[in-house]
Structure 1
């Protein structure tokens, strides 16, 4: 109690000194401009500068009922010197700050006084990845700096080139203007491979001079998805050609900021040259980047579930068609768009609608369960299931056409997957029954068996063994040649890569498969049988799947944590089910150090229901005596993971 009183007294004195100092010689910088930031969560409303303190008035914007944190290691950096934070007012440093229902909050951060004449300062919440950072905050009232200020892209109307299959490496070269090495920016990129239905991921590392280069094997012109501080969205690339982009980071950050967005523009955000430059310049700088019939918020999703939970097939189709027409009206209202870009957005909207309509059975059942709070392991009445007949699917020829321009939208691969497993006839299937070949039904719906859609369906069927790390035979590769020589060449390259990976994996170690034979163990006894050998050690359990992108991303993020615990009494246990193909699982786990088990569907279902695994990735921590002490869906982050394991290890 005495320590608490002393701390409160010190904080009160500190705030008093800062306030009295401000009254005497304060200088207020209202909504100061800045050149770049790492996150849109913290906005500076004003900065009070005095001889006794520098006070940042912060407005925070984040998801309601989620927490943020400002650590006690936070500093200001100016002219080569560092000024450590002294206190927080309205927020406790290094503790979770829970956002209110509004998703908005305000607090103050108090730092030592800065030297008079300081023109810019950096706000650095920490040097680790994910920390809040705001660079070049202007204390003299001047606007943000951009070496690209006022620059304009050429007034060139994009032309949508007809895509053709071609094997080659697309190169993306980028430069972030006004980059500072301490920004240490990184990004992720991925594209959908329509020939095998997979997602191929890439890392983007920005060099100290602000440059980055990415090489992507492609088989047709398509969009590369990028998520980073400096770019979000699609960039269109062509196989065998180079696309270059100059990135106006200060303008990107200004336009993101609630307090800076109404200030004068610093130029356009992106300047493309090279392959598909005009198209990229328009779509990357457009005010309309995305169209979708899907709900826009959690509240909208819950209302959607309520709406469709009692619908029949015709009502369901009418509901989504109505949403489509409303979104199309919004798209049509943007008369400034070129025909090329409008075509891509409209195709994306049609694809989105088709996904909703094809998902009718699963979506209506999920909505019925959600609204009526029925667990997924409970059977729902048969008359509550919506299984349409073949007449329902008359929308497919229009929405999922044989249009080659759909290649530009790589996520078209989801539609191909939907089509392969669609129950066109509405016939009953037993639980777990393998879906029969529905090609004849699809041909009946489409009215043809020719075109790019059928080429891609055939390619994905041929490539399925490759995805499961079962190399194709020469005879199977010859079948690909009947579709297209380019597709045959592409599948041959994929096939050779899989063979090489299999050989390399034979040399790897550090992972163990099935320490106990689980095949004959009853589901209710399995988890105990798996974990009993690890008594006396802390067990970190990862429920995952080979096809789960977030699972793989979390594994990459957790690697440094696992290395910190090498040689200590901690076991990393990875559990997957039969929905992870055996060949794929076997070839992925050599790169995932730990203990691995692949369970039957019955075993997986039992364990998921027992522990409340509603999705992957999910995680559990088991104490040394075998007691589960923590469970959560979704990765907790590497820092929290390390903290929780250290706490359990020290018990």
Structure 2
């Protein structure tokens, strides 16, 4: 009898729930991932007749956003169209107010009642707003992804700090993008900070089915791989490292930015490999305390400080922060890593004190024109470094394990010799780096000689000389592979005053776009990538010539492996030639464009940095009589 009563009561409850007509409201739903931080879904109302989204927008004041009338919701493979908008007009420009914040309401066809999550798709264009996995079940936190192996999950916060590995080898980084959506991108970028103090960029295609992307590259000594927005990992040369990136970090960032939101710890990255434990510890939380000097905040020190006062300031700031690290309840390994990072920062702050205070001035006065020298900076003296050497060993190889170690490397490698002598450093990491780094450019250009190698002595780790020889061997092999594909035009043998005319004069009667660029320039590469496919379609014309001018700051191997995929005429100028043309056209940065008309006249056209305007202008001019 009791069972019958219970069953009847349960059926009645279900019937009453089915008869309810009031809206289901979900406040501040979790969002799985997104391709932009501009939009947030603050509230979802589900009724029998509509799905209503309360949308918050965040963007630069006085800039516009736009919502396409073809926007739809997607749930369980079906699309639900936009039916109404309040506070914004679809297909029209919506100008953000002074606050940079706005709200509007979008209504769609009703989602099925049992829908657990849905996607917001602002049309199907590549750069339209897209938010995925908007939760309707009331979840409050993100769970740990499935399928991550034990090595990438385990963390020992009391383990000892590993040592930097000094050897060379081909490294493979296999990246698994968890919760990947094809709309989040077809390529993954990885930036590698090297032992030379420089940074290499790698881009590879993402497998649309598995969400896996693989990078392979030659590595010389310890390196740090950075993944945009996701974190970084230390790499030992010659190993195969598997990295798991939880792409829900893009949704979590939106959720965490909500007003009044409780910041939840979110682990973005998991890894295996030689430095698995340290990498996983550092990436295990997004809310680790940041004991940093923040050298580039514009607030470190005062540009008006005397050299002596600045030295005291650096030393005292280091002591304060190191004491804070020691007294915190962090795991011992995390404390050691943070302290190594702080030590590296302190070395940079001291050795680059003149430039640091100049940066401070330019930041505070918003004056970034290097042609305007900053006067009144009291020059630092090499003896200032003694203030730090009394506190820790600035020649300790373990400093390479800290965050921002590339800044430390650049600081000690290029410091005046007087600083190194004042520090009393004669052998070890710093002297070897100072011999090694200046020769990297020669090895990467294929011009290294055995005479160059005589700088290394018995006191130096043989790694450095071996690495340089391996770099040169790789360079020569890569140049040989592209020698018949990479065509670099001979620079006209004329005075610099006549150089530009000599380059473009063979094409009089045609429209010529001269693109000033370099391989290390991200916006340059992005612009070229966007334009290249159009050369065979809407910009295909016998009356349109593409000329690309780079200089010798583009590493020769990188340059020659890139230009076969860039249709046009390629010139690589020396410093004198580039400097003259930069002054002639008042080039303020790259990419910069000079447009030559059919009559041979030309002028700088940096408004063509707008890709749409560039395409429109070239199409019109090349098709005109």
Work out whether residues 222 and 408 of structure 1, in 8 Å CA contact, stay in contact via their aligned partners in 2.
no
Q: Return the offset for 1:353.
A: 3.7
Q: Return the offset for 1:294.
A: 3.1
Q: Return the offset for 1:280.
A: 1.9
Change (3 A) 1:549 1:486: farther
Work out whether residues 54 and 111 of structure 1, in 8 Å CA contact, stay in contact via their aligned partners in 2.
yes
Helix, strand or coil: the match of 1:489?
A: helix
Q: Establish whether residue 226 from structure 1 lines up as the match of residue 216 from structure 2.
A: no
Work out whether residues 496 and 580 of structure 2, in 8 Å CA contact, stay in contact via their aligned partners in 1.
no
Q: Return the offset for 1:529.
A: 5.8
2:162 is aligned to 161
1:594 is aligned to 568
1:239 is aligned to 237
2:191 is aligned to 190
1:631 is aligned to 606
Work out whether residues 534 and 540 of structure 2, in 8 Å CA contact, stay in contact via their aligned partners in 1.
no
Work out whether residues 478 and 557 of structure 2, in 8 Å CA contact, stay in contact via their aligned partners in 1.
no
1:35 is aligned to 32
Structure 1 segment 312-351 matched on structure 2, within 5 A: 312-318=306-312, 320=314, 324=318, 328=322, 331-332=325-326, 334-336=328-330, 338-351=331-344
Q: Establish whether residue 408 from structure 1 lines up as the match of residue 401 from structure 2.
A: yes
Helix, strand or coil: the match of 1:35?
A: strand
Cα distance in 2, alignment partners of residues 156 and 489 from structure 1: 35
Cα distance in 2, alignment partners of residues 624 and 72 from structure 1: 42
1:352 is aligned to 345
1:202 is aligned to 202
Moved more, 474-483 or 103-112: 474-483
Q: Return the offset for 1:499.
A: 0.6
Cα distance in 1, alignment partners of residues 265 and 425 from structure 2: 52
Moved more, 232-241 or 590-599: 590-599
Cα distance in 2, alignment partners of residues 416 and 558 from structure 1: 37
Q: Establish whether residue 275 from structure 1 lines up as the match of residue 249 from structure 2.
A: no
Q: Return the offset for 1:453.
A: 1.5
Cα distance in 1, alignment partners of residues 252 and 316 from structure 2: 36
Q: Return the offset for 1:465.
A: 0.7
Work out whether residues 51 and 113 of structure 1, in 8 Å CA contact, stay in contact via their aligned partners in 2.
yes
Change (3 A) 1:290 1:562: farther
Q: Return the offset for 1:170.
A: 4.0
Q: Establish whether residue 542 from structure 1 lines up as the match of residue 515 from structure 2.
A: yes
Work out whether residues 395 and 425 of structure 2, in 8 Å CA contact, stay in contact via their aligned partners in 1.
no
Q: Return the offset for 1:46.
A: 1.6
Change (3 A) 1:639 1:204: farther
Q: Return the offset for 1:39.
A: 2.7
Work out whether residues 115 and 136 of structure 2, in 8 Å CA contact, stay in contact via their aligned partners in 1.
yes
Cα distance in 1, alignment partners of residues 519 and 67 from structure 2: 35
Work out whether residues 146 and 251 of structure 1, in 8 Å CA contact, stay in contact via their aligned partners in 2.
no
2:9 is aligned to none
Q: Return the offset for 1:450.
A: 0.2
Residue-by-residue CA offset, 1:166-202 (whole Å, 9 max, x unaligned): 33344444444444556556421122221x4442322
Cα distance in 2, alignment partners of residues 174 and 582 from structure 1: 29
Change (3 A) 1:538 1:82: farther
1:109 is aligned to 106
Change (3 A) 1:357 1:650: farther
Cα distance in 2, alignment partners of residues 289 and 630 from structure 1: 47
Of residues 479, 485, 490 in structure 1, which corresponds to 2:462? 485
2:8 is aligned to none
Residue-by-residue CA offset, 1:537-578 (whole Å, 9 max, x unaligned): 554443334554554455455544555434464443333456
Work out whether residues 470 and 583 of structure 1, in 8 Å CA contact, stay in contact via their aligned partners in 2.
no
Cα distance in 2, alignment partners of residues 496 and 62 from structure 1: 49
Residue-by-residue CA offset, 1:618-637 (whole Å, 9 max, x unaligned): 4566666645474269x65x
Work out whether residues 66 and 99 of structure 1, in 8 Å CA contact, stay in contact via their aligned partners in 2.
yes
Cα distance in 2, alignment partners of residues 355 and 596 from structure 1: 39
Q: Return the offset for 1:137.
A: 1.8
Helix, strand or coil: the match of 2:283?
A: helix
2:74 is aligned to 77
Q: Establish whether residue 470 from structure 1 lines up as the match of residue 446 from structure 2.
A: yes
Helix, strand or coil: the match of 1:188?
A: strand
Cα distance in 2, alignment partners of residues 368 and 34 from structure 1: 41
Residue-by-residue CA offset, 1:446-492 (whole Å, 9 max, x unaligned): 3132001112222223333123x134335555766853333333222
Cα distance in 2, alignment partners of residues 55 and 639 from structure 1: 34
Cα distance in 1, alignment partners of residues 393 and 555 from structure 2: 28
Q: Return the offset for 1:603.
A: 5.5
Helix, strand or coil: the match of 1:614?
A: coil
Helix, strand or coil: the match of 1:163?
A: coil
Cα distance in 1, alignment partners of residues 598 and 84 from structure 2: 39
TM-score (norm 1): 0.75
Work out whether residues 244 and 272 of structure 1, in 8 Å CA contact, stay in contact via their aligned partners in 2.
yes
Cα distance in 1, alignment partners of residues 393 and 612 from structure 2: 44
Q: CA RMSD in A?
A: 4.4
Work out whether residues 251 and 265 of structure 1, in 8 Å CA contact, stay in contact via their aligned partners in 2.
no
Change (3 A) 1:555 1:284: farther
Cα distance in 2, alignment partners of residues 52 and 581 from structure 1: 61
Work out whether residues 622 and 630 of structure 1, in 8 Å CA contact, stay in contact via their aligned partners in 2.
no
Work out whether residues 122 and 136 of structure 1, in 8 Å CA contact, stay in contact via their aligned partners in 2.
yes
Helix, strand or coil: the match of 1:450?
A: coil
2:422 is aligned to 445
Structure 1 segment 561-600 matched on structure 2, within 5 A: 561-562=534-535, 564=537, 565-567=539-541, 569-577=543-551, 589-590=563-564, 592-599=566-573
For structure 2, the 5+ residue unaligned runs are: 1-20
TM-score (norm 2): 0.78
Helix, strand or coil: the match of 1:253?
A: helix
For structure 1, the 5+ residue unaligned runs are: 1-23, 425-437
Helix, strand or coil: the match of 1:282?
A: helix
Cα distance in 2, alignment partners of residues 551 and 577 from structure 1: 13
Residue-by-residue CA offset, 1:133-173 (whole Å, 9 max, x unaligned): 22222345456775638999445233211223133344444
Change (3 A) 1:508 1:32: same
Work out whether residues 341 and 403 of structure 2, in 8 Å CA contact, stay in contact via their aligned partners in 1.
no
Change (3 A) 1:531 1:80: same
